[in-house]
Amino acid sequence: GAGVSQTPSNKVTEKGKYVELRCDPISGHTALYWYRQSLGQGPEFLIYFQGTGAADDSGLPNDRFFAVRPEGSVSTLKIQRTERGDSAVYLCASSLGPSKGDTQYFGPGTRLTVL
Amino acid sequence: AQSVTQLDSQVPVFEEAPVELRCNYSSSVSVYLFWYVQYPNQGLQLLLKYLSGSTLVESINGFEAEFNKSQTSFHLRKPSVHISDTAEYFCAVSGESSASKIIFGSGTRLSIRP
């Protein structure tokens, strides 16, 4: 079946602009996660949704970052007033449920470059 | 809070040689441990995980990892590597109280020489 998909695959923007990154999870998966991976680093947790609600947003770096999942499926990560330090690969993952140790399936990522 | 240390950023080995990728974690609570792999031009995928029970866990492609609570380690091993094992490997941990939040190490790049 189809895996997690993310669009766009690449996004180049200018400092100060607003961007939206989209994630389509695996059908039937109730849990959705966003991570950010900077060059040479492992993925860094940003936010976790269970259904439509953000169950844990402790990883969002500041209030310029916001994510939604209005219908409990597709999610959008929104970044306002982008800064050069926001440049990274943004990864989305989904899992069947919130059960402890549920396998998270990752998408290919969106590479964001802020000039 | 949990953290993960992968001391080796790169590990070069010859084909058919054994390999060990080291991972140490810190946590004050019970943990779940994972190894993820990222093959060239592909997304992250789960290789194996420890949740409870037997401390030795295996993957379908010959890797194994052993949970060692006293040494807070979860090293990944394979007795004989293949060219196709070339990838970046990430060790990760989550806590029992926040099982959905996975903390990743910085990764180890495994390069296999023929």
What does the domain layout of chain A look like in residue ranges?
Answer: 1-6+31-94
Q: How do residues B11-48 score in pLDDT, each as one tens digit?
A: 999 999 999 999 999 877 778 999 999 998 888 999 99
Q: How do residues A40-54 score in pLDDT, each as one tens digit?
A: 899 999 999 999 999
Nearest CA in chain A to B101: A45
CATH superfamily assigned to domain A1-6+31-94: Immunoglobulins (2.60.40.10)
Please give the Cα distance from A90 to A50 (Å, whole number).
Answer: 19
Which tokens in the block code for residue A34? Answer: 């966003």
Q: Which chain A positions have a beta carbon within 8 Å of B9's beta carbon?
A: 40
| Type of residue at A53 | G
Please identify every stretch of chain A with a pLDDT value under 50, giving residue numbers as ranges: none
B92 interface with A at CB cutoff 8 Å: yes
- Over residues B82-105, mean pLDDT: 87
Q: Which chain B positions have a beta carbon within 8 Å of A55's beta carbon?
A: 100
Q: What is the pLDDT of residue B96?
A: 67
Q: What is the pLDDT of residue B99?
A: 62
Q: Where are the beta strands (DSSP E) in chain A?
A: 5-7, 10-13, 19-24, 31-37, 44-50, 53-56, 65-68, 75-79, 88-95, 105-106, 110-114
Please give the Cα distance from B69 to B25 (Å, whole number).
Answer: 10
Q: Is the pLDDT of residue B112 over 60?
A: yes
- Asked if A42 lies within 8 A of B98 by C-beta distance, the reply is no
Which tokens in the block code for residue B3? Answer: 């953290």
Domains and CATH numbers, chain B: 3-113 (2.60.40.10)
ω before A8 within 30° of 0 (cis)? yes
B4 interface with A at CB cutoff 8 Å: yes
Q: What is the pLDDT of residue B52?
A: 84
